[in-house]
Amino acid sequence: MRERKEKIIFQGEWLSIKKATYRSRTGHLVDWEVVERAKSETVIILLARLVPSERFILLRQFRAGINRTVIALPAGVVHPGHDVRRQAINELKEETGYRGKIISESPGLKINPAILDCDVVVFEMEVDETSPENADPRQELEPEEEIDVVLKDKDKIRDFLIEEEAKGTAIDVACWFVFSV
């Protein structure tokens, strides 16, 4: 790791922006702006598959950061000291109404590490749609959340994403990588 000096430029409730100064390999002094989660939260992303139908759960959600609706995977933020696995199960229930189980968990990952210092964990989840607890899924959204659940067969998701983008809906990068590559 390189020696780096930091200066906070902005501190908000959720994010901070820092000016990071370091020396490049060639000896040049570099100033770089870095966005950090203000409370060192971990982001979780949920790849949830319904069984036996094999449909996947996507979300259509308004995002203020881009002032548009986006198609994305269920996701959330886990505060330091909280159990990320438990939060993954809770987040699926809150955003979609479904109860699921974790099949696998990624190591800590990075999203856009050029400017963003944020840890991400991806959970593959399975939802038994024959279970009574999933017979009538009801979201438990926070007042500011605007989320519609979209269920799609895997082989139809790529075309769905292209159609949505053509209508002006933004597409989250995780959806594109998971279902279109």
Domains of the chain: 4-37 (no CATH), 42-180 (3.90.79.10)
pTM for this model (two decimals): 0.90
Candidates 57, 32, 62, 23; CA nearest to 145 is 62
Across 21-25, 47-51, 144-148, which has the greatest mean pLDDT? 47-51
For the cut 80, the answer to whether the pLDDT of residue 91 exceeds it is yes
| Close Cβ partners of 178 (under 8 Å, ≥ 6 residues apart) | 47, 73
- In the 3-class helix/strand/coil scheme, how is 57-94 assigned residue by residue? EEEEEEECCCCEEEEECCEEEECCCCCHHHHHHHHHHH
> What percent of the chain lies above the pLDDT cut of 70?
99
For the cut 70, the answer to whether the pLDDT of residue 1 exceeds it is no
Mean pLDDT, all residues of the chain: 94
